[in-house]
């Protein structure tokens, strides 16, 4: 199975290949800059393990793990 | 000299400083309302500059302009339907790429735009250098540097607005170009529109329409469907989508979004240089502590504790002043009026009613002081980040925590605090369950009943169990509403964690004032009207059938309409162990929950009601005695009454605030209905089980 954003550990960087799913959630993630080719970095997990915080396009974004799971990485 | 008028609309991402610019432009000349049919707030203001009287529409802060969120639909509807003369797009300069994504979409709408590069100071301190001329040329937009918090560039912005308004036809309306394959497809669809008579009266830019169709935008698809050529066009679009899919190995929606971002990347690369200073260093250092795996939660609870204390502990004295102020006013007015109906109406109806509206102001002002500060600094997003896992499990959002917590103090500011939730479904579910958080007004009911019916040793546990049941029910109902009423796809969370900054005093004060004013205007009038109706229910009829006055307050209450309602509902509440007197008390509790006990006191002919609320031993004992003799109360009945008071219809002020926040009567009525049914069912089960097990 391909690696997704959910598998990224804090401090690790990776490139986005694809955003899976459809509808509002996928659209929102793409609108926020998660598009193929973009590089992102896992910043941290929340104290309870979910959601996660990533750094992308020069800003900080938090995503639930169920959302992060649909971001396929290189 | 007559002024020339202009209409402009401000657009921008959340956290880009748009509100600060709006406040700088319009000052106190603002008006807040609601867009019809949705819960999105409509903000407008006016500014006079040179020969112009400029109306400024502050659009909701959005990241995009899709059909998925009501905020975004409202923003683009205003642009397309109200056709402002021009747009002012405010962007956070320290976060250009993502902010410009909205700019590109605004350009697709083919309206003249002035771009305000806001928070330029933060960006410059972070080593970002912009070649303004080149940037302006590449984007084809008039560009202005602003620092909203310091009032820098506001004059330049106004100059640019007027320049663009006066040179509309010189302003380039060139939109962003995509890759050749995509362009061909878009052009082909546009050509199709041009050859179709149905599009002669089409009110929207054709290129934008084509792009939106390729993106499967449901609002635009709906509009096209209603055209005679609708089916044919949609068929063409879906064929073209497949073409793109096979050509680019990407769906059209993603290809378009990628195209926008590719254009932005190119523009930023050419006109912006970064010196490699880490603009995040401060925020990242702070977040290392505030979002720390071990410290994150304790700090969060600490901040929430402070917010609660600020709102309710600091708010208590002014509330007492307001209450005693209105009591004194009532007495003074009463002493200058002749006894009779008019006096009763003025003193017990109107003055008490106005007092009942104003009394919540200290809580509302203080809570929104706290919330404006938490949002302005950027901590609110962190609070949601820390709490989301727990809240999401029951179908809520990390930001639902603040309203729920505040609900323990008072449901009214709590429901107003749901404004911090951007998502309409998340907000609505939070509004619906907040009344189950046991507010301060219900506490005197519990303490009196506990003091009257329970030994001191168990008092704490009894009270705690009531609060706990409230919280558990709130979570259960959240899950139920999510599963049955708001089913379907869950809402996106994807939330920006903005840079920390210090909010300006002006924006915090304006925010507080705006909330307070909306409360007074929209909810206050309903509260006042209902208090007068409640007064009428308890006042009429004033004499018996023979025209004689009643002998006592208790008899008067029994004979009043409220008393009759209590008697009428007795069969319904009898299975819960309640008699008609309790029924009257519950009717009275709709005005404010704390009056449940004082109403019972009146019905039991306890002269000194004050002593009841102050829990004076002898009075409480005689209350318990009479409740037992006249209504057959046992400790168990008292407990069921506490449960009922916790769950059943929230007070009228809460209902009025739900009406204002949801912009209609549907949800306040639903709340009143479901809470009352839930209260009845739970109390029925508890009481009947208690009967079986011999607790009664």
- Give tens-digit pLDDT for A15-70: 999 999 888 999 999 999 999 999 999 999 999 999 999 999 889 999 999 999 99
Closest-CA residue of B relative to A45 is B293
Tokens of B465: 């169990």
- Other beta carbons within 10 angstroms of residue B185's beta carbon come to 24
Best mutation site among A40, A42, A62 for testing chain B: the one with the most B CBs within 10 Å?
A: A62
d(CA A65, CA B69): 22
CATH number of the domain bearing residue A20 = 2.30.30.90
What's the DSSP call for residue B521? I
Task: Name B458's Cβ contacts closer than 8 Å, sequence gap at least 6.
Answer: none
User: Which CATH number among 2.60.120.10, 1.10.150.120, 1.10.287.1770, 3.10.180.10 corresponds to the domain B180-255?
Assistant: 1.10.287.1770
Q: Strands, DSSP E only, in B50-112?
A: 52-58, 86-92
Name the residue with tokens 């977040």. B287
d(CA B578, CA B576): 6
What pLDDT was estimated at residue A11? 95
d(CA B200, CA B422): 38
Looking at the complex, report in whole angstroms how far the Cα of residue A69 sits from the nearest Cα belonging to chain B: 13
Q: pLDDT below 50 — which residues of chain B?
A: none
Residues present in chain B in total: 696
Q: Where in chain B is the domain with CATH 1.10.287.1770?
A: 180-255
What pLDDT was estimated at residue B199? 85
Q: Where in chain B is the domain with CATH 3.40.50.300?
A: 4-170
Please give the helix or strand (H or E) that residue A15 lies within, else none.
Answer: strand A13-19
CATH architecture for the domain at B4-170: 3-Layer(aba) Sandwich (3.40)
A46 with B291: Cβ contact below 8 A = yes
Closest partner residue to A64 among B63, B253, B493, by Cβ?
Answer: B493
d(CA B657, CA B669): 12
**Residues of chain A contacting residue B279, judged by C-beta atoms under 8 Å apart:** 58
What pLDDT was estimated at residue A22? 82
- Other beta carbons within 10 angstroms of residue B468's beta carbon come to 11
- Other beta carbons within 10 angstroms of residue B145's beta carbon come to 18
Count of structural domains, chain A:
1
User: Is residue A41 less than 8 Å (CB to CB) from chain B?
Assistant: no
| Sign of the alpha-carbon dihedral angle for A55, A57, A60, A62 | negative
Name the nearest CA neighbour of B439 among B585, B615, B654.
Answer: B654
**Residues of chain B contacting residue A51, judged by C-beta atoms under 8 Å apart:** 385, 388-389, 493
Closest partner residue to B494 among A46, A50, A67, by Cβ?
Answer: A67
Best mutation site among B493, B498, B499, B500 for testing chain A: the one with the most A CBs within 10 Å?
A: B493
What's the DSSP call for residue B294? T
Report yes or no: A63 and A33 within 8 Å, Cβ to Cβ: no
What pLDDT was estimated at residue B1? 54
Closest partner residue to A57 among B66, B98, B291, by Cβ?
Answer: B98
**Residues of chain B contacting residue A45, judged by C-beta atoms under 8 Å apart:** 293
Q: Strands, DSSP E only, in B13-99?
A: 30-34, 41-49, 52-58, 86-92
A47 with B297: Cβ contact below 8 A = yes
Please enumerate residues of B whose Cβ is less than 8 A from a Cβ of A.
Answer: 63-64, 66, 68-69, 94-98, 101, 250, 253-254, 257-258, 261, 279-280, 283, 287, 291-294, 296-297, 381, 385-386, 388-390, 392, 489-498
**Residues of chain B contacting residue A58, judged by C-beta atoms under 8 Å apart:** 94-98, 279
B493 with A51: Cβ contact below 8 A = yes
d(CA B15, CA B38): 23
d(CA B271, CA B285): 30
Q: Print the domain residue range for A50.
A: 5-73
């Amino acid at each position: 199975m391909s690696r997704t954003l959910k598998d990224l550990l804090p401090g690790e960087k990776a490139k986005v290949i694809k955003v899976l799913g459809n509808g509002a959630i996928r659209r929102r993630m793409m609108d926020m800059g998660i598009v193929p080719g973009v590089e992102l970095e896992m910043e941290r997990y929340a104290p309870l393990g979910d959601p996660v915080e990533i750094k992308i396009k020069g800003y900080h974004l938090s995503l639930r793990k169920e959302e992060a799971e649909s971001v396929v990485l290189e | 000299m007559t002024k020339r008028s202009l209409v402009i609309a401000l657009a921008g991402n959340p956290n880009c400083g748009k509100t600060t610019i709006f406040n700088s432009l319009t000052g106190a000349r603002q008006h807040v309302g609601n867009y019809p049919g949705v819960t999105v707030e409509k903000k407008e203001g006016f500014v006079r500059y040179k020969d112009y009287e400029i109306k400024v529409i502050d659009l909701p802060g959005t990241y995009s302009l899709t059909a998925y969120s009501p905020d975004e639909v409202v923003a683009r509807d205003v642009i397309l339907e109200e056709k402002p003369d021009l747009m002012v797009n405010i962007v956070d300069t320290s976060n250009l790429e993502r902010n410009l994504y909205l700019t590109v979409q605004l350009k697709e709408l083919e309206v003249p735009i002035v771009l305000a590069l806001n928070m330029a100071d933060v960006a410059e301190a972070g080593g970002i250098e912009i070649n303004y001329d080149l940037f302006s040329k590449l984007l084809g937009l008039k560009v202005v540097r602003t620092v909203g918090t310091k009032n820098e560039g506001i004059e330049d912005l106004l100059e640019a607005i007027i320049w663009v308004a006066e040179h509309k036809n010189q302003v380039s309306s060139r939109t962003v170009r995509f890759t050749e394959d995509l362009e061909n497809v878009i052009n082909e669809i546009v050509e199709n529109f041009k050859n179709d008579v149905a599009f002669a009266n089409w009110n929207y830019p054709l290129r934008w329409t084509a792009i939106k169709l390729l993106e499967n935008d449901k609002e635009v698809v709906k509009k096209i469907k209603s055209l005679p050529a609708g089916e044919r066009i949609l068929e063409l679009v879906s064929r073209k989508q497949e073409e793109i899919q096979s050509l680019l190995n990407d769906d059209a929606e993603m290809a378009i979004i990628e195209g926008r971002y590719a254009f932005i990347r190119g523009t930023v690369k050419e006109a912006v240089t970064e010196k490699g200073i880490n603009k995040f260093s401060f925020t990242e250092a702070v977040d290392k502590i505030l979002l720390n795996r071990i410290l994150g939660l304790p700090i969060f609870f600490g901040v929430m504790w402070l917010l609660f204390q600020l709102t309710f502990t600091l708010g208590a004295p002014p509330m007492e002043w307001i209450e005693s102020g209105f009591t004194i006013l009532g007495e003074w007015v009463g002493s200058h009026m002749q006894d009779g109906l008019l006096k009763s109406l003025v003193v017990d109806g109107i003055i008490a009613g106005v007092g009942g509206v104003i009394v919540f102001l200290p809580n509302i002002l203080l809570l929104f002081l706290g919330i404006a500060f938490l949002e302005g600094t950027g901590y609110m997003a962190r609070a949601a980040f820390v709490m989301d896992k727990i809240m999401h499990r029951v179908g809520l959002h990390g930001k639902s925590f603040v309203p729920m917590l505040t609900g323990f103090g008072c449901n009214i500011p709590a429901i107003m605090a749901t404004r911090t939730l951007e998502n309409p479904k998340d907000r609505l579910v939070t509004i619906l369950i907040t009344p189950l958080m046991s507010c301060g007004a219900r506490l005197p009911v519990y303490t009196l009943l506990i003091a009257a019916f329970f030994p001191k040793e168990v008092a704490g546990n009894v009270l705690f169990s009531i609060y706990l049941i409230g919280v558990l029910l709130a979570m259960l109902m959240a899950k139920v509403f999510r599963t049955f009423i708001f089913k379907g796809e869950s809402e996106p969370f994807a939330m920006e964690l903005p840079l920390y900054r210090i909010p300006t005093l002006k924006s915090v004060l304006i925010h507080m004032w705006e909330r307070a004013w909306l409360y007074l205007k929209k909810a206050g009038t309903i509260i006042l009207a209902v208090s007068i109706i409640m007064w009428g229910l308890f006042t009429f009829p004033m004499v018996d059938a023979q025209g004689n006055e009643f002998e006592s307050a208790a008899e008067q209450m029994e004979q009043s309409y409220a008393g009759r309602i209590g008697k009428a509902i007795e069969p319904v509440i009898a299975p819960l162990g309640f008699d008609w007197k309790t029924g009257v008390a519950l009717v009275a509790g709709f005005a404010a929950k704390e009056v449940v006990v004082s109403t019972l006191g009146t019905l039991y002919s306890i002269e000194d009601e004050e002593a009841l609320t102050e829990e004076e031993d002898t009075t409480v004992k005689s209350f318990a005695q009479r409740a037992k003799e006249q209504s057959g109360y046992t400790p168990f009945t008292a407990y069921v009454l506490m449960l009922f008071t916790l769950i059943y219809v929230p007070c009228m002020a809460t209902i009025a605030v739900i009406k204002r926040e949801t912009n209609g009567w549907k949800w306040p009525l639903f709340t009143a209905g479901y809470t009352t049914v839930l209260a009845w069912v739970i109390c029925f089960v508890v009481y009947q089980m208690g009967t079986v097990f011999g607790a009664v």
